[in-house]
Structure 1
Amino acid sequence: MTYDAPGTPSGLIAASLSHAFALFVAVSVGANISGGHVNPAVTFASFIGGNISFLSAIVYWIGQLLGSVVACLLLQYATGGMETAAFGLSSDVSIGNALVFEIVMTFGLVYTVYATAVDPKKGNIGIIAPLAIGLIVGANILVGGAFTGASMNPAVSFGPAVVSGTWKHHWVYWVGPFLGAAIAALIYDNIFIDDHEQLPVTDY
């Protein structure tokens, strides 16, 4: 959840659908340019799997974090100064609980990314990859949104934290997604992608 914004059923449904549709579009329009990277955890997983270089990962991370901050500033301006709430843990949710939630949800997201967009055996599946990625994020928000906000994306948490100045438990939204992403990448890459099928490392 976000601070001062309780996870009501209607709120979770609205957040789930809006994130699913927005991510579907974002990944679709960026797929042929940058691979549709809008999430530092997904970028980290791609680096762990050897699909992008460390230099490329850094460039992506800078762009993702700057984009998040600019988006939050524009939202604050467009809404007449409305507060942009940071991600936070719900009451009775411990740091350990939150880490498990973020690890598991990000694992599901990155596993979906690998299965539909990274695996060289996937063939030409058109819009299925962006759609599947958007749907898994929407589903995860329905499940975990009331507990941690279901970030799965350090950039999504970073922008609101910068604009609001609220950093409490912020590290959870980096460590959890990065661990979940790394686990998914290592499992999928070592079990389902053979060495000879590894995608070439890209660089700038």
Structure 2
Amino acid sequence: MSSEYYTVPFQRITFGSQEEIRQPGAIKAALAEFFSTLIFVFAGSGSGMAFSKLTGDGPNTPSGLIAAALAHGLGLFVAVAVGANISGGHVNPAVTFGAFVGGNITFFRGILYIIAQLLGSVVACFLLKFSSGGLAVGAFTLSSGVSVWNAFVLEIVLTFGLVYTVYATAIDPKKGNLGIIAPIAIGFVVGANILVGGAFDGASMNPAVSFGPAVVSWTWTHHWVYWAGPIVGAFIAAAVYEIFFIDHSHQALPTAEY
């Protein structure tokens, strides 16, 4: 590839080719995204269902919030780690979109990833419903007193923190040994963000995480917030990091990874 492709932020964005989605490497990466997302959503959504069954309380209690943060943080750490060497371990359409904005993944490969992530979430939620004996898989909803615009801004800020962390620890060519702890850092920031935003709108930060429960429960109230907020937050994080911090002039980042 030419050096020009790696010098100017946002001019490196590429759409690729439709042929890309039929390449064995792309299909293998999408399959890795499917299983990683399934693992993450099964652990995260399943923790809320298990907590409700054991205590009779909803997840929006202090102890339920801590349990959700821990389960999502640990689950994401594992999901990112097991997918990192195959697909980059996005596990999130917002992360994939942020990587596309920075020119680190092609449009067609990104679409393949997002489809796999959404399917992984849906399958995880159906498995949860079946294996729990028919317990409800709760969709993301806004808490009392929280407007859609409150939630929209909250999702933007929370996802900004997540995607900024992904850029700093996994995408930046200068990350060096920091890349080793990327899955831990990404899991930690999601767990911390759930402690902040979980009581307000569930703190999704991930359209796939919201999509699976919405399909299984067929609950779509305010669902757009859990897409629009993360996408905007991912765009801002990618723009900020690409413009102010990242330097591709010395080392090219393969588009197959993030």
**When the two structures are superposed, what TM-score results if normalisation uses the length of structure 1?**
0.95
2:96 matches 1:43? yes
> What SS does the aligned partner of 2:121 have?
helix
Q: Does residue 61 of structure 1 match 2:114? A: yes
What residue in structure 2 maps to residue 110 of structure 1? Answer: 163
Q: Which amino acid aligns with 2:89?
A: G
| 1:43 to 1:124, Cα distance in 2 relative to 1, 3 A | same
Counterpart check, 1:15 vs 2:64:
no
Q: Select the residue among 168, 191, 206 that pairs with 1:153.
A: 206
Of 29-38 and 192-201, the range deviating more from structure 2: 192-201
Q: Is the 8 A contact 1:114 1:185 kept in 2?
A: yes
SS class of match (1:107): helix
Amino acid in the other structure paired with 2:102: G
Post-superposition Cα deviations, 1:167-197, rounded to whole Å, max 9, x if no partner, equal: 0000000000000000000100111113525
Offset from partner CA, 1:116-144 (integer Å, 9 cap, x none)? 00000001335310000000000000000
Aligned partner of residue 127 in structure 1, secondary structure? helix
- Write the mapping of 1:115-154 to structure 2, written as runs, cut at 5 A: 115-154=168-207
Q: Is the 8 A contact 2:87 2:256 kept in 1?
A: no
**1:37, CA displacement in angstroms?**
1.3
SS at match of 1:89: coil
Go from structure 1 to structure 2 and tell me whether the alpha carbon gap of 1:162 and 1:147 turns closer, same or farther (over 3 Å shift). same
Q: From the CA coordinates, give the structure whose radius of gyration is larger.
A: 2
Deviation beyond 4 Å, 4+ runs, structure 1: none
User: How many residues are matched?
Assistant: 201
Match of 1:88 among 138, 141, 144: 141
Query: 1:76 touches 1:82 (CA, 8 Å); kept in 2?
Result: yes
Look up the match of 1:75: 128
Q: Aligned equivalents of 1:154 and 1:126: distance in 2?
A: 25
| 2:82 corresponds to 1:29 | yes
Q: Distance in 2 between matches of 1:106 and 1:57?
A: 18
Residue 255 (structure 2) pairs with residue 201 (structure 1): yes
Contact residue 76 and residue 84 of structure 1 kept, 8 A: yes
When the two structures are superposed, what TM-score results if normalisation uses the length of structure 2? 0.75
Q: Unpaired segments of 5 or more residues in structure 2?
A: 1-47, 49-56
Please say if 1:191 is aligned against 2:231.
no
For residues 122 and 238 of structure 2, the distance between their equivalents in structure 1, rounded to whole angstroms, comes to 27
Residues 126 and 103 (structure 1 numbering): CA distance in 2 closer, same or farther, change over 3 Å? closer
Looking at structure 1, the residues matched to 134 and 242 of structure 2 have their Cα atoms a distance apart, in angstroms, of 45
8 Å contact from structure 2 (residues 102, 239) kept in 1: yes
CA distance, structure 2, for counterparts of residue 200 and residue 126 of structure 1:
15
DSSP-derived class of the 2:211 partner: helix
Partners of 2:252 and 2:201 lie apart in 1 by 35
**Alpha-carbon distance in 1 for matches of 2:58, 2:64:** 9
Which structure would you say has the larger RCO, counting Cα contacts within 8 Å and 6 or more residues apart?
Answer: 1
Alpha-carbon deviation of 1:201? 3.1
CA contact (8 A) 2:173 2:247 kept: no
Question: C-alpha displacement at 1:16, in angstroms?
Answer: 0.3
Distance 2:227 2:84 in 1: 24
Give the Cα–Cα distance (whole angstroms) in 2 for the partners of residues 194 and 57 of structure 1.
22
Percent identity for Structure 1 against Structure 2: 71
